[in-house]
């Protein structure tokens, strides 16, 4: 079983048998497993998804069923996605906020 990271909010209670997938979040290389959502992979690696718009509070998803709007993340190409319902894919390049217009 993977050792939990000191800042992670989730730990995997059951070892994953799927293929290990590599992705990048905010420029940092991370990994997750085939069959996980982006949210699960992010929380197991970072403990958060993004910063709250109105304070320095870190957000970690809330409802886990695509109703609360708390888990939006962006791909480097500007595509927005819900981390709680999007399957993790190998090679994803994700951001916690929209990329600057000149990068899209």
The answer as to whether 10 is a domain residue is no
User: What would the pLDDT profile of 56-93 be if each residue is shown by its tens digit?
Assistant: 776 666 676 667 777 889 999 999 999 989 999 999 99
What distance in Å separates the CA atoms of residue 46 and residue 32, rounded to the nearest whole number?
12
Count of domains for the chain: 1
Distances in Å between the Cα of 44 and the Cα atoms of 12, 50, 78, 92 are 8, 14, 24, 16
Output the domain CATH number for residue 66. 3.10.20.440
For residue 79, give its domain range: 20-103
Question: What is the pTM assigned to this prediction?
Answer: 0.78
Residue 5 confidence (pLDDT): 52
């Amino acid at each position: 079983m993977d050792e939990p990271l000191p800042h992670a909010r989730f730990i995997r209670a059951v070892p994953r048998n799927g293929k290990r997938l590599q992705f990048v979040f905010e420029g940092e290389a991370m990994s997750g497993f085939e069959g996980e959502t982006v949210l699960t992979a992010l929380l197991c690696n970072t403990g958060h998804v993004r910063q709250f718009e109105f304070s320095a509070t870190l957000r970690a998803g809330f409802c886990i069923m695509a109703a609360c709007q708390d888990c939006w993340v962006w791909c480097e190409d500007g595509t927005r996605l819900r981390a709680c319902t999007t399957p993790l894919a190998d090679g994803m390049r994700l951001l916690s906020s929209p990329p600057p217009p000149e990068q899209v």
